[in-house]
Chain A
Amino acid sequence: MNTNRPTWTKPWSYKEGILISLSLLVLGFGLEYLSNGIGTDNLLIYPNNLYMGIIIVTLILFLAIIGKSWTITEWLQSTAAAICSIGLLLLVSLLMGLTLQYDDGAGETIRRLGLSHILTSWQYLLANLLLLLSLGLTTIKSIWNFSWNKLGFTISHLGLWIVIFGGNFGSIQLERLQVKLIEGEISNIAHNNSGSPIKELPFAIKLNDFILEEYNPKIALVYNEAGIMFKDESSSIVIAELGNYGTISNWNIEILEYIYSSAKAGNKYYQINEPGAAPSAFIRATNLTGTTVEGWVHCGSFNRQYESLKLDDEYSAIMLFPEPKEYISKIEILTTERPPESISLEVNKPYYIDGWKLYQMGYDYELGRWSNTSIIEVIRDPWLRIVYAGIFMMLAGAMFMFWVGSKKNMK
């Protein structure tokens, strides 16, 4: 870097880069403030995102072909520009990383400066535009002067450009909706987050069965007075499982009997299968001083009272609600063209149909495993394939990088 060169004379470097980035940042805050903190929310809706994309690509091609030897083009293809544009986006994202986003309680100034919604703020948009220009021109240059030695370089930069482009401008067309299903009923109405029906899907879904598998519940101690759980990081729970034991605080807890689905009759719990029948355990607790207490604990459910076991003046033993291990909806997809399809929808295993991905999302948490409703999330993202292409190019680039290592040390 030649520090004696007057600013804005060819070739531009860090000084100009910092000035450009900071001006964009100030411009971003300014536009945000003037637009009263509305941001780019209304600007970047379909099909504006497409126009925006066409403008950016045209601008890049224009600079790369017509303005090839312009000072600004050469600067945009330099590492100084790369660093300044990454730095600008980093700065804007840092603001996002430090402030609570989409916070309705944000103060007026915070909101008006876009700090409560960085993703739809002008400063974020401008930072991305600078990055797309710099990265785009760098990529085009490396495609123009393609060489096999630089394949890794070309695909990682092209991949990243595609991901940033598709992720920012494409995902505006992302549709994320929910379908609430009740066992035995059919629905094709999708709701938004706040529950108002907004779309008829091109297919209908019937819920045949909802299944929830649970882990064994945990036994814990609570303070009688305060009613809060005893916690020391090392050993504050014992899993309810026949024969299992462990130490919590100064009590040794042993599980003598465990029933997954149980109900109380008299002063004992029995195996029973009916809605609301919850886990219970017969435990023995032994103090360091030799005091022994035995009795039942029961975690309770939407229609059963829980039961705790008082150990001494300080503690009682309780059973926590079992945590879900897996939940599955047995559904049928009904379309006008094809015969119905039966599938099991699980968390982490979405199902793809006609441009939509179906996800197991939730259920009636109060009823737990007796829930007869299931909430399915339906998502459409027309740009997904493009972004995935970019992601896989970046992955290939990362492998190249791993393979080749830092060139400076190859000599």
Chain B
Amino acid sequence: MDWINFPIYTCFILIIWMLGLLFVSINSKRRFNSTLGNLLLIFGVLMLIAMLSVLWINLERPPLRTLGETRLWYSIFLSVVGLIFYWRWKYNWFLVFSFSMSGLFIILNIIYPENFNKSLMPALHSGWFVPHVVVYIISYALLGASSIVAVKQLFDTYVKGKSSSNAISLADNLVYLGFSFLTMGLLFGALWAKEAWGHYWTWDPKETWAFLTWSVYLIYIHGRIKDSLKENTAMWVLAFGFIILLICWFGVNYLPSTANSVHTYSKT
């Protein structure tokens, strides 16, 4: 990337976020601290969005193809989701977690910058491309957040010996929203696949793992109906779901079952 100094620009965002989190966490009762903290966090997110927009214009295609580009979207959505849920539920720890996760993805991008390749194979020139991927990324951000809640809850239960009663309803909320997006992403993908590859579902490894991810969250949702599963079991399901989600997202390329997948664009 010649047009922007990625490491310096993003390090600046990370520093702003750290300051923001500091102000929010330190004595958040004081109005001034919390407002300043929030403004800093928002400013950082806006800088990230600006960067993404410039990238989009420069690449002359939606930046949704390489792992590095999707990480960027993920960082943005994770931080936005973190802010919205913080405003709604006032969990400091949630804010810290979501911004740290988001920051982690930025750091990964600094360590492993990928080449920003302008060409896009013909099968990807489709009206379905952007809705499919954006819906997926929103859902990953929400489901990722729900898993953070689950891990925190499990930690509190087993290590601290006391758990919060609000956490599970936060997790439910995140999963319901995230799952509805995940379902849309899956179905958009199927409709697109019919147009591009001739069949809506071929159990290609990427599709198989997308189905696995979807099923785990489906189990969680049904386990929560009338407390069918114990709360702790449900939390384990969520934590496990995130592992499957991560495999689906990056791991698939490395599995033996992927030898002839059509979905591993970033390798070519």
A94 B212 Cβ-Cβ under 8 A: yes
Alpha-carbon distance A234/B113, docked complex (angstroms): 5
- Confirm or deny: B215 has a beta carbon within 8 angstroms of a beta carbon on chain A: yes
Counting contact residues on chain B (CB < 8 A from A), the size range is 35 or more
Cα separation A94 to B213 with both chains bound (whole Å): 10
On whether the beta carbons of A98 and B184 are closer than 8 Å, the reply is no
Binds B, one of A193-201, A254-262, A265-273, A391-399: A391-399
Instruction: Decide: A215 near B212, CB < 8 A? Known: A350-B195, A405-B176, A406-B169.
Output: no
Determine the residue in chain A with the shortest Cβ distance to B208. A97
Distance in angstroms between the alpha carbons of A259 and B226 in the assembled complex: 69
On whether the beta carbons of B191 and A326 are closer than 8 Å, the reply is no
Nearest residue, chain B, Cβ from A247: B2
Are B208 and A93 closer than 8 Å at their CB atoms? yes
Residues of A332-391 whose CB lies within 8 A of B: 346-350, 357, 359, 377, 379, 381, 384, 387, 391
Distance A79 CA – B237 CA, assembled complex (angstroms): 15
**In the complex, A118 Cα to B220 Cα: how many Å?**
25
State which residues 216-256 of B face A: CB under 8 Å: 216, 218-219, 222-226, 228-230, 255-256
A409 to B114, CA, bound (A): 42
Segment of B8-16, B34-42, B73-81, B199-207 in the binding face:
B199-207
- Say yes or no: A347 contacts B122, CB within 8 Å: yes
Bitwise, B94-133 to A at CB < 8 A (1) or not (0) is 0000000000000000001111011111110110000000
A365, B164: Cα distance in complex, Å: 61
Contact A90 B183 (CB under 8 A): no
CB within 8 Å: A-B pair count = 144
| Nearest CB on B from A84, distance (A) | 9
Given contacts A79-B223, A82-B222, A174-B199, A90 and B119 within 8 Å (CB-CB): no
- Answer whether residue A7 sits at the interface, using C-beta atoms and an 8 A cutoff: no
In the complex, A395 Cα to B255 Cα: how many Å? 30
Which of A29-37, A235-243, A299-307 contacts the other chain? A235-243
Flag whether B4 is at the interface (Cβ < 8 A).
no
Determine whether the beta carbon of B223 is less than 8 Å from that of A83. yes
Q: Does B136 contact A (CB under 8 A)?
A: no
Distance of A1 Cα from B184 Cα, bound (Å):
33
CB contacts (< 8 Å) of A402 on chain B: these are: 176-177, 180-181
Given contacts A83-B229, A234-B113, A357-B198, is CB(A101)–CB(B172) below 8 Å? no
Give chain A residues whose Cβ lies under 8 Å from the Cβ of B222. 79, 82-83, 86
Tell me the bound Cα distance from A237 to B119 in angstroms: 12
Docked CA distance A407–B93 (Å) = 25
B27: chain A residues at CB < 8 Å are none
Please give, as numbers and ranges, the residues of chain B lying within 8 Å of A324 by CB-CB distance.
121-122
Shortest C-beta distance, A221 to chain B (Å), equals 13
Given contacts A359-B198, A398-B180, contact A119 B219 (CB under 8 A): no
In the complex, whether B211 has a CB less than 8 A from a CB of chain A is: yes
B173 within 8 Å of A (CB atoms): yes
Give the residue name and chain of the B residue nearest to A381 (CB): B199
Asked if B218 and A100 sit within 8 Å, CB to CB, the answer is no
- Identify 15 new A-B residue pairs, CB closer than 8 A, beyond the known A325-B119, A348-B195: A83-B219, A83-B229, A90-B212, A93-B212, A97-B209, A97-B212, A237-B115, A246-B2, A323-B121, A346-B122, A379-B199, A395-B183, A397-B183, A405-B176, A406-B176
Pairs across A and B, CB under 8 Å, 10 listed: A94-B212, A96-B208, A98-B256, A101-B257, A167-B200, A325-B120, A326-B122, A347-B196, A405-B177, A408-B172
Binding site for B on A (CB under 8 A): 1, 78-80, 82-83, 86-87, 89-90, 93-94, 96-101, 119, 167, 171, 174, 176, 215, 233-237, 239, 246, 323-327, 346-350, 357, 359, 377, 379, 381, 384, 387, 391, 394-395, 397-399, 401-402, 405-406, 408-409
